[in-house]
Amino acid sequence: MTDTETPDNVPTTAVARFAELQALVAGMEADFQKFYNGGNKAAGTRVRNAMQELKAFAQTVRNEVSSIKNEGGAPGAKDSDADA
Long-range contacts of 54-57 (CB under 8 A, 24+ apart): 54/24, 54/25, 54/28, 57/20, 57/21, 57/24
Given a cut of 50, the residues of the chain with pLDDT beneath it are: 1-6, 84
CA-CA-CA-CA dihedral for 30, 34, 36, 40, to nearest 10: -140
Query: Is 7 inside any structural domain?
Result: no
Query: Where in the sequence is the domain holding 59, given as residue range(s)?
Result: 28-70
CB 12 within 8 A of CB 4: yes
How many domains does the chain divide into? 1
d(CA 81, CA 84): 6
d(CA 75, CA 27): 30
Query: Is 38 inside any structural domain?
Result: yes
pLDDT at 13 (0 to 100): 86
pLDDT at 2 (0 to 100): 46
